[in-house]
Amino acid sequence: MFSQSAEWETPAHTFERQLRKNIGILMHVLMIGTDTTLLTGTIDNTLERHEDYALRADGQISIVLCNRKQADRPLATYRSERLLVQPTESRGYADYIPSGVRLGMARHAEQPVDVITSQDPFLTALVGLRLRAKTRRPLIVQDFSCFVSSPYFLRERPRNRLLRLMARYTLPRADAVRVLNKRERLACIRLGVKPARVCLAPIVTHIDPFAAPADPEQVAAWRQRLDLPEGTPVVLWVGRPVTFKNLPMLLQAFKRVHSALPQARFVIGGDMEGSNIIGQAAAYGLQEVTRFPGAVQYADLPPLYQIASVYALSSNYEGLGRVLLEAAAAHVPLVSTANEGASDIIAHGITGYLTPIGDPDKLAESILAVLQHPVRAKQMAERAHQYVMNHFAPETLTARWVTMWSRVGQGLSPCE
């Protein structure tokens, strides 16, 4: 497909592209996504990250955001000099494809697109394939998780079988595929995607705020708020209590940790609404030793990490495990199930501990190994810190993703 890119250029597109180059706008990237946090602001740095992408590409990004319309909470279009985020306000999932294609073609009509990207290999990829056929511009399909490699994803819920079928259809038809970990890359290749088209490009995680020394007053404020005096062994988890995170298994593991180390405390950061995690903690007799600070603003996370003795991740699968990057940047020792993303970050016994997925006994054993051997844990944390700062630096990952756009848009092999 790459060799065909020159045939996709019409004279009008060639003229428009040269004109944009002359005035300093070198690339127009059309993204098809479903991430409503871009417009709701519930994750503080999402919009900022895309503004940065556009700036680094010295171009413009248009995002067609496929969403279901909610009468009481309509989403408004966001527009800046380099970034446009426009919701479809669709009637339902079935409307994502026609409404997504309609808005995508409108953006292409205003300014010819250089490359199209889809946020996932499902409905947004189907929108991307339709737009590629109409615009004759190349498509990058992003696989942010383990949709092909993980058996846990397939078993999680019945609809995931349909999603897996969509991925098996869309991924081999893409001009390039972006994955976040090595196992998913191999799974895509086994699926039939040519190796040269599957690029390992982890999502950018802003780890610098976590690596910087935290304000002692903010750390003290967290300790006071959570009633965690200095010296208290603290197990930390932050995120959303979705099924694949397997937080109930981590509660089981912490019950074993607390039995062996009664002074240990468990902090679960995140909005627990819609889950029974607080009730399960009580059922395990952990209500007095578990802290639930609720949803935590992104800016408040770095000092929260500083009170942790160990960061524990219990996920059945992860595309990357960005919390592990944040924790490593903050010099917090790592313990995780051996999911796909964690296995690209943690070398067992060197930069942390990996345990079998779904095994609370082994997870508890590794958490205790960190808490009971602080010198060794500190050494592992320092090695993890150095590895993450060297291999997941935001500048490097931003450049890798933006370069992928440029290479695909020019008809070159996508991976450097």
CATH code at position 312: 3.40.50.2000
* Structure tokens that stand for 165 in this block: 């079928």
Q: What's the structural domain count of the chain?
A: 2
Helices 159-170 and 123-135 cross at an angle (nearest 10°) of: 30
- Same domain, residue pair 223 and 366: yes
* Structure tokens that stand for 287 in this block: 């209500």
- Same domain, residue pair 242 and 101: no
How far CA 196 is from CA of 4, 8, 118, 192, 298, in Å, comes to 16, 21, 19, 12, 36
- Same domain, residue pair 158 and 290: no
pLDDT computed for residue 18 by the predictor: 52
Mean pLDDT by groups of 10 residues along the chain of 416 residues? 38 47 69 91 74 89 94 90 95 94 97 96 98 97 97 96 97 98 98 97 94 95 97 97 97 98 98 95 97 94 97 98 97 98 98 98 98 97 98 94 94 91
| 415 domain-assigned | no
- Same domain, residue pair 154 and 274: no
CA–CA separation, 251 and 302 (whole Å): 23
- Same domain, residue pair 149 and 271: no
- Same domain, residue pair 170 and 289: no
The alpha carbon of 111 is separated from its chain's Cα centroid by a whole number of angstroms, namely 29
pLDDT in tens, 181-236: 999 999 999 999 999 999 999 999 999 999 999 999 999 999 999 999 999 999 99
pLDDT computed for residue 42 by the predictor: 59
- Same domain, residue pair 144 and 269: no
- Same domain, residue pair 238 and 116: no
Residues forming a β-bridge with 367: none
| 236 domain-assigned | yes
pLDDT computed for residue 303 by the predictor: 97
| 105 domain-assigned | yes
- Same domain, residue pair 379 and 275: yes
- Return all residues near 324 (Cβ < 8 A) that are at least 6 apart: 311, 313, 334, 336, 341, 342, 345, 346, 352
CA–CA separation, 416 and 414 (whole Å): 7
| 414 domain-assigned | no
- Same domain, residue pair 119 and 175: yes
| 416 domain-assigned | no
- Same domain, residue pair 404 and 357: no
The amino acid sitting at 322 is R
Domain around 231:
208-391
How far CA 111 is from CA of 14, 21, 135, 359, in Å, comes to 12, 13, 11, 53
Per DSSP bridges, beta strands 83-87 and 115-118 are unpaired
- Same domain, residue pair 55 and 111: yes
| 9 domain-assigned | yes
| 179 domain-assigned | yes
